[in-house]
Amino acid sequence: MTPPVHGPVAVLGLGTMGAGLAGRLLDQGIQVRVWNRTPERAAPLAEAGAHVAATPADAVAGTSATLCVVADGQALGAVLHGPGGVLAEGPYPGVLICASTVAPDEVVQIAGEFAAVLDVGMLGNRDHARDGELRLFAGGEERAFTTARPLLQRLGKEVVHLGALGSGMRMKLLLNLLMGIEVQALAEATELADACGLDRQLVLKTIAGSGFASPVMAFKSRRLASGRFDEPDFRLRLMAKDLMLASKQAAAVGLSLPLATAAAETHVRATEQGLGDQDCAAVTRALAPKPETDT
């Protein structure tokens, strides 16, 4: 039996994953306090029983744990230290669970400001978050992990303590590095097929059903087949950010990762082309040949 979660829980950031996590906790009968930069995203959770807070500081008041699920390091800094931030009214006595994908060093830097901090890399999509089917990889002190374990077990089918603070982010960056390269490889194969006159739908069906395809490729092949990249599972700009972070981590330890570097460059270029808020499979549009123009 999963042990009980003591006290309300705050969820800061109601994007694809944050909203799923908050909904899961509400389904589990846990009191949830939520905050989002754009308040309208909290409306469905309010109807389900969540308390919608005006500021992060208000959201964390009286909670035993806080899940921070924002887009990047800049957003994390604003949520913690900005006006109305978590620390605006003094120390936070609960466990801060950083599930935002940021540089591992950024998580380590905030550790001294909190009683307990974990960084948690989440493997899964919005449906997994909503259904408690995530795989969660945590870094941080054993004491903090033991305290947060009952909560994490409500959210994931697998909960692993990797070791020191920053380990969860390192695992998440490794996983997203693999996903970014796999999706780009699938997109490159599809664009080559198009350019050579092969039937796009048949090629994608063949790849998805082959032994070469990972589950990610099989899943994203449906995006490439339909050509629809709205309502993203994972935004392309976030993939670009994570690939850049992975490349920086490699450089910091003296590793050269040519595939990571190439994928990061392609995703950054795709973001600069205005594709950042589409699904990461839209990277295919950055690979397509440019139409010839009359001179």
- E strand or H helix that includes residue 190: helix 167-195
Q: Which of 100, 261, 105, 235 is nearest to 177 (CA)?
A: 261
Specify which residues 117 forms β-bridges with: 96
Dump pLDDT digits (tens) for 215-273.
999 999 999 999 999 999 999 999 999 999 999 999 999 999 999 999 999 999 999 99
Percentage of residues in the chain with pLDDT exceeding 70?
Answer: 97
The pTM for the full model equals 0.91
What is the average pLDDT across 136-147? Answer: 97
Whole-Å CA distances, 95 to 36, 48, 58, 247:
19, 24, 16, 30
Q: Is 29 exposed, middle or buried (0-12, 13-18, 19+ CB in 10 A)?
A: exposed
Two tokens, residue 88? 């605006």
Q: CB–CB of 75/105 below 8 Å?
A: no
Place of tokens 């090629």: 203
Q: Which residues contact 268 (CB under 8 A, 6 or more apart)?
A: 240, 244
Tens of pLDDT along 86-133?
999 899 999 999 999 999 999 999 998 999 999 999 999 999 999 999
pLDDT at 289 over 80: no
- Domain architecture of the chain: domains with CATH: 9-165 (3.40.50.720), 170-286 (1.10.1040.10)
pLDDT digits 0-9 by tens, 10-29: 999 999 999 999 999 999 99
Q: What band does 291 get if pLDDT is binned at 50, 70 and 90?
A: low
Could you tell me which of 48, 1, 63 has the C-alpha nearest to residue 12?
A: 63
40/233 Cα distance (integer angstroms):
20
The torsion angles phi and psi of 277, rounded to 5 degrees, stand at -95, 5
Q: Indicate whether 293 pLDDT > 60.
A: no
- Give the whole-number percent of the chain exceeding pLDDT 90: 94
Helix pair 215-226, 200-208: axis angle to 10 deg = 160
Contact predicate 119/173, CB 8 Å = no
pLDDT tens-digit map of 46-98: 999 999 999 999 999 999 999 999 999 999 999 999 999 999 989 999 999 99
Indicate the average pLDDT of the chain.
Answer: 94
Assign 149 to helix, strand or coil. Answer: helix
- Determine the average pLDDT of the residues in 160-182: 97
Flag whether pLDDT at 294 surpasses 70. no
Torsion of CA 36, 37, 38, 40, to 10 degrees: 20
The alpha carbon dihedral of 256, 259, 262, 266 has a sign of negative
pLDDT at 62: 95
Could you tell me the two tokens for 81?
Answer: 């230290």
Residues 6+ apart with CB under 8 A from 173: 101, 104, 121, 242, 245, 246, 249
> Quick one: average pLDDT of 210-214?
94
Angle between helices 167-195 and 215-226 (to 10 degrees): 50
The reported pLDDT for the residue numbered 159 is: 98
Nearest Cα neighbor of 12 from 81, 95, 99 is 99
pLDDT of residue 122: 97
230 in the Ramachandran plot: left (φ > 0), alpha (ψ -120 to 50) or beta?
A: beta
What's the pLDDT band for 295 if we cut at 50, 70, 90? very low
Round to the nearest angstrom and report the end-to-end CA distance of the chain.
71
- Residue 31: pLDDT above 50? yes
Q: What is the pLDDT of residue 292?
A: 57
